[in-house]
Amino acid sequence: MDRAEFNQIFTQDFLDQLLPLNLSNKFFEALYGDASDGAYNIRLQFVSASDEQIVLEFNLLQRLGKCMVCSLTYGLPNVFSRHPLININNMIKKIEEKGVKVENWYLGDTKEVNNSLHTIPFYLDLE
């Protein structure tokens, strides 16, 4: 597949299907018992693609009146990789249904872009 084909597959609409916008509230309800205790919203974003790898990001966007710096976002790659609500294996299945063959996936370390945005790289190695 070429870059144009990846751009057609990895639209924001498709990414929002993989990780629905309301999932943030469900995640914090499971984590804290109350969605209003969550400091950020989680959204999946397309970053880049090559013949060998696709790079997506989990964007952690600060909620109004909450503190991202006070949140424990650095341990999230381990949590996201196995959390049943995030369900990365199901995401991979849906991506493969689009004709993209994923050999391996892994999450990078949390990056603090600024006080209101942290990101977690999501790497998809292709067959």
Encode 37-50: b = buried (16+ Cβ within 10 Å), e = exposed: ebbbbbbbebeebe
* Predicted TM-score (pTM) above 0.85: yes
pLDDT, tens digit (0-9, with 9 covering 90-100), for 61-113: 999 999 887 677 888 899 999 999 999 999 999 999 999 999 999 999 999 99
What integer pLDDT is reported at residue 31 of this predicted model? 82
* Per-residue pLDDT tens digits for 56-75: 999 999 999 998 876 778 88
